[in-house]
Amino acid sequence: MASRDEEHEPRTPPPIRDAARTRWTVHGVEPGQRRAPEETAVALVHDASTTAVMMATPADLEDFAVGFSLSEGAIARVEDIRDLDVVVQDLGVEVRMWLAPERALHVASRRRRLAGPTGCGLCGIDSLAEAVRSPRRVAGETVRVEPAALLAAMSALSDAQPLGRETRAMHAAGFWTPTSGLLAVREDVGRHNALDKLIGARARAGAAGAAAGVVLLTSRVSVEMVQKAAVLGAPILCAVSAPTALAIRVAEEAGITLVAVARADGFEVFSHRERVLA
The CA-atom distances, in angstroms, between 77 and each of 67, 102, 185, 193 are: 10, 12, 20, 18
Over the range 141-159, which residues count as b (16 or more CB within 10 Å of their CB) and which as e?
eebebeeeebbebbeebee
Helix axes 223-232, 61-71, angle to 10 degrees: 100
HEC letters along the chain:
CEEECCCCCCCCCCCEEEEEEEEEECCEEEEEEEEEECCEEEEEEECCEEEEEEEECCCCHHHHHHHHHHHCCCCCCHHHEEEEEEEECCCCEEEEEEECHHHHHHHHHCCCCEEECCCCCCCCCCCHHHHCCCCCCCCCCCCCECHHHHHHHHHHHHHCCHHHHHHCCCEEEEEEECCCEEEEEEEECCHHHHHHHHHHHHHHCCCCCHHHCEEEECCCECHHHHHHHHHHCCCEEEECCCECHHHHHHHHHHCCEEEEEEECCEEEEEECHHHECC
Please check whether residue 239 is in contact with residue 153, taking contact to mean a CB–CB distance below 8 angstroms: no
The answer on pLDDT for 140 being more than 70 is yes
Return d(Cα 140, Cα 212) in angstroms, integer: 6
Residue 134: per-residue pLDDT: 74
Specify the pTM.
Answer: 0.90
User: pLDDT tens, 168-216?
Assistant: 999 999 999 999 999 999 999 999 999 999 999 999 999 877 899 999 9
Residue 135: per-residue pLDDT: 83
The amino acid at residue 17 is R
The answer on pLDDT for 126 being more than 60 is no
The amino acid at residue 210 is A
Return d(Cα 89, Cα 222) in angstroms, integer: 32
Residue 120 known to be catalytic? yes
Which domains are delineated in the chain? Answer: 147-275 (3.40.140.10)
The answer on pLDDT for 236 being more than 80 is yes
Supply φ then ψ for residue 68, to 5 degrees: -60, -45
Point out the catalytic residue in the list 41, 87, 104, 120: 120
Angle (CA) 34 39 40, round 5°: 140
The amino acid at residue 203 is A
The answer on pLDDT for 141 being more than 90 is no
Return d(Cα 72, Cα 156) in angstroms, integer: 29
User: pLDDT tens, 266-277?
Assistant: 999 999 999 999
